[in-house]
Each structure stands twice: as C-alpha cells, then as structure tokens.
Amino acid sequence: MNPSLADRISNSVISKFHELNKKGKPVIRSNGVKEWTVLSGIVSLIPIPTPNSEALDYFIDTLAVTTGVKSTSNDTITKYSNGRLLHDCHAEVLALRAFNRFIIDETLKVQSGEISEYIAKCLETPKFKLKRDITFAMYISEIPCGDSSLSLLANGEQETWNDDTITYLPNGVLRGREHYGLKGRVRTKPGRRDSPISLSKSCSDKLAITQIKSLLNGLSSSVIEIEGFNLKWLVVPEGRVDLRDLKRSFHERLDMGNHCFQKIQFLETSLHHGWERSHDNDEQDPSNLGLVYIPNERIHESILSSIKEGFYSKKTFIRKNGESALSRVRLFEQIKPLLKIDSSLTYTEFKARNNKYKELKNRAYCSLGGWCSTSIDDFDI
C-alpha cells in the first residue's frame, strides 16, 4: 500500500489525541523533564467508490485512542482485583480492549432496533456479525515491546538486562528483556529488572495471536462471529523498524505452527504525536498515566496504576466506581444484556463455555511455542 495511507491512518489517531483536553496526557514536570508515552489507536477503513480511478480510497473512522506504558504486577492482581483492575496498560492492549467495548456497544444498538454502521444480525445463527467490506488498522507510535523490538535492545536504543538471571516461567516464557539474543520467544512485559513481576505477555505476542483468534476477546466473541475482525495493517514509525523483526515476530512464528491465519501487513509513517521517547535523552521519564478515549461512546479516562485516576485507596487499592470502562467487570456489565446466562456462574466459568474462542486461542499459543497465564482474576456474574 502507498505511504499516504499509513499517514492517513496515523493522522486519524494522532489528531483525535490532540483534540482531547489534558486528562491522562503526559506533561512537562516541574523540574523541566518532559514525559514520554506510547500512543496507539484502532481505525476502521470503509471503501469509497471511485468510478473515475482505479485506486481504492477509504473513509477512515477512529474507533479507539489509547496511551500507556505500564502493567500490573501479579501480586496486585491476586490481592485486589476481582475483575476490577486492568492487567495490562500498554497502549496497544488498551486499544484492543477499547475496540471490543466499541463493538459490544454497536451490537447493543442492533439488539435494540437501531442501525449500526458496523454490526448486523446473522441470519444463520443467533449471533451478530461484522458488515461487509470493513477492514481495520492499528497505529502504534513505537515498535511493540517483546520480540518485535529486540533489535532496539541490541542497538542500545532501549535498556537491556545484561545479567545471566533466568526467571523460570511456565512453558518456556521469558521474562521481559532476559536473554534478548533469543528471538522468536514469548516474553512478559519488559518493565524494570527490580520491579514486581507481571505475567502479562508482550505486545508483540498479544498482537501476533490476533491473526488467529481475531481482534475480538472472549466476551465479545461469545455473541459476535469473528470473521472479518482482523488487523489488515499495522502502522509503525518510519526508521524505527527492522522489517525482518516484524515478519519473524508476526508471520514466521505462526507459520511454524502450520495454522491458517490472517497476516498483518506493515506500513511506516513519518508522523509523530510529540510525546515520544527521545532515544538520545536519558533524563526523560515515562508517564505514569494511561489514556483511554472511545470517540463514538464519548468515553475519556485517565488510568493510573490500573484504575481510574483519583480512585486509589490505601486500604483496598481501589475505591468504589474506580474501575475503568475497559476492566473485566465493566465490560461484562456492558455485554450482559446480550447474554442468556446462569447467574450462578463466575466470569471465568462463563468464558470457559466459549469453545470456539478457546480452541483458536490455544492454537495461537501452540504456534508461538508456549504461553503462561496471569493470576486467576474472577468474580461472580
């Protein structure tokens, strides 16, 4: 595809980000240090008829805009969550969750008799489906953490872990930046060597498996057919990427599993959002905040320590109504009107009934050579 499409996709996300007020955004601190963050977003592309031209044009709609570079420790999830904390606040993962919230909302419209530009009822099954000729793309202002960005570690552009420590995690998963010379492996979020361990997998791994299991999650796929819900394009910053790393991380690892999957295509953009990490400035600090914006739902949240900013409790970690709209509890509340369920079930038991999704997810895990789960984070529904 041509470079202008990459810039149009990027600009649709970046412009929405700049339109927002300061809530959840990075700042210049009182000591003059400029914070950095990663910006991501998911857009839809709907073909526009161009009878006088052979080139295909698109109407681009921004569905989710997110920032973030943090993840939640396994101990914190175990002790406090009960479905209320976000496990992973990296921008790409928040974008996936925000996208699912948007799609569930569109499905609720159809259920109530309204017309959705995206969702229709299936004639063959009780489920809903994506309307025809809609494709999706994701913009990321930095190369996804994990396997895709190992060359940045080797080139000294990101902090490395140079000790020989091995953290033994299930199924051969590597912790963060350990042994970064080993390529093609599933890794947890990088973080700092001395930080409490998070078992959330890297963004490279989480995005790679969408090529098999789709963009939908275990909740949305229980009521919506997955066909068509794939990323066609991943837009990354120009000059920051080694295409060989992306192909290895997203294509070759899954090819080895001999499974059919929808291969993501890679585009490069020259656009910037203005709060990127400067790779020649060691004094820059990452923003502690994450941002969630779903334009069509008018949801705009500032996320701090896996919950909405301002809702931290020293005693219980999270105060009442402190859950993000993207938390497990809130997403389940949103989709509940679409479900026929036994109220005696727990969240985990409900998701376990989604056999097709489980099969696809396990196929993806096997293709990558292994996976490890975060702590059980369950609640009564």
H helical segments located in the chain: 3-19, 74-80, 91-111, 150-154, 203-213, 243-247, 253-255, 328-335, 347-352, 355-368
SS3 303: strand
- CA-nearest of 308, 338, 314 to 326 is 308
d(CA 180, CA 149): 10
Catalytic residue among 35, 92, 142, 178: 92
Work out the angle at residue 95's Cα, subtended by the Cα atoms of residues 295 and 22, and round it to the nearest 5 degrees: 55
Measured over the CA atoms of residue 188, residue 189, residue 190 and residue 191, the dihedral's sign is negative
Check if 92 is active-site. Answer: yes
Token duo for residue 264:
């993501």
Q: Which of 74, 57, 19, 72 is nearest to 41 (CA)?
A: 19
Confirm if 213 and 246 have CB atoms less than 8 A apart: no
Per the structure block, which two tokens stand in for 372? 């490890």
Burial class (CB in 10 A: 0-12, 13-18, 19+), 312: middle
Tokens 């090819």 correspond to what residue? 255
Separation of alpha carbons 266 and 205, rounded Å: 16
- Cα–Cα distance measured from residue 148 to residue 175, given in angstroms and rounded to the nearest whole number: 15
- Antiparallel, parallel or unpaired: β 69-71 and 88-90: antiparallel
From the centroid of its chain, how far is CA 341? Answer: 27
Q: Look up residue 276 and give its amino acid.
A: E
- Catalytic amino acids? 92
